[in-house]
Structure 1
């Protein structure tokens, strides 16, 4: 529902049809509901999967269809019109991983996204306590969340914070200022766990206007980042990472045909015939976060940064015709 709400808000349309239908001639609006699959199979609708208020408008047994409006599934007649959300499924859609399954079993607000399980903890604690409190799931590198792009921040806000009525809009994430010698906007690092840190680059487009300010700790605020003190008790957002996260690659359309200057390049290969071969070399390097590959020349560059950490207009990036940038996830 939160994902549909975010999509609805983005396109500014209220009435959205999904694949939820109802068998005809039911005695109650809450029975006979099912999801219609592409192969015609009817998958039962589980009312217990939703908050008590969400299905409360399914009370018209004479209707055959439903639509999503605000936070509700509502009844609708066959003659009604609305926008339709379609789903296209991979033939080899992945089987749920152990982390995916354990994430889904949590009672706290959670999202499984691109190899990470994000969990919002409503316990109010100071930052140092929050860093040690990501213990909801064992064995998956629990840490404060690394929220270094706009898409992820918006997803976390819509799926976690907005899911809690009256939730405090601020929550600690894994960003701290470790170097205080420079300007107030510098010296920030992401905490990757196990003592590893990665510097925040000059891309501050996902910060709330006026931030960062030089304060010591980072927080998710609505769908942006802010920085404040570390001693005020606040909720926090944890991230649990798949052991295989980072071994898969996706093209980043925003930075296609770009590559980093040599100081960001770990290794160069001149004879790799496939992008997958380039990616395999990257998986063997702990510090490799992305690859740049030229399919015509078979040139492969392993890089220590990902495109989400670099501002496209930065002088640190030069045009490289024929190269395509792939981020690990």
Structure 2
């Protein structure tokens, strides 16, 4: 991953000039728990994701509801009760549609994000969990844990166009920024299946740690990250070689993953949206591990909650907009604040 120097940066008129001062005391960037934020949601929040308009959507598996949070007011603004055990939420590129997995009904629901009306439902494989959408918004890929398969849904017709066999207990899916590949974690196979989206066939299988759970892809397109629930680790996969390049130890039972980039990185020319940090909630470890993606090292372990199981940045991807963590037992969402280094 290409990283840019943060010692000296010169911008255009009216922008900042940052100069390293010899002898000055440097403070490392850090995340900290915002003790003033504790937002009550439904029973068993299992999925958390940044939504359109700067919102935050929480899938409450035990309550079969979705809580929509306004991060500015730190309050639930709406609860949608038309979903059964929501375990995956993604949005269309324009943000006008939400797609939600209902695991115990083996369906995907389509929701209008303006009216919050349910506009369609499609049947997929048994016990679906992970859900991903291609960058152009044309196709959805669902990981069907009980069927050892991935369903491909055409969003224009809202029908399944293909079912792809993968490993045992596929749990999560992620699409590369180019839209060319989908990565699928196979929980009981210790593998990740790579699907070529042109042929919709498995092109390769990558061995990772025990019980791979979540998978996310750096928007830079350089690497994918897999949380290994049974190995207390995160596998880093190079998307150029399709090999595991590093395994990073984290806390017990790491579940979901979320990355973010610093405000400085957002301003620098050519920065794109490459992540600077990866955050990992350790469900049994009652903590969140912070991984610096420059060094691939855990720089912080933040204790919080009873059972943190889902984490997300907002759609901006900025660390400074906060990292949000759902606690599956305490039925609440907490916030981690980011302090830039100096």
- TM (norm. structure 2) is 0.24
Greater C-alpha radius of gyration: 1
Which structure dedicates a bigger proportion of its chain to strand? 2
Which structure dedicates a bigger proportion of its chain to helix? 1
- TM (norm. structure 1) is 0.25
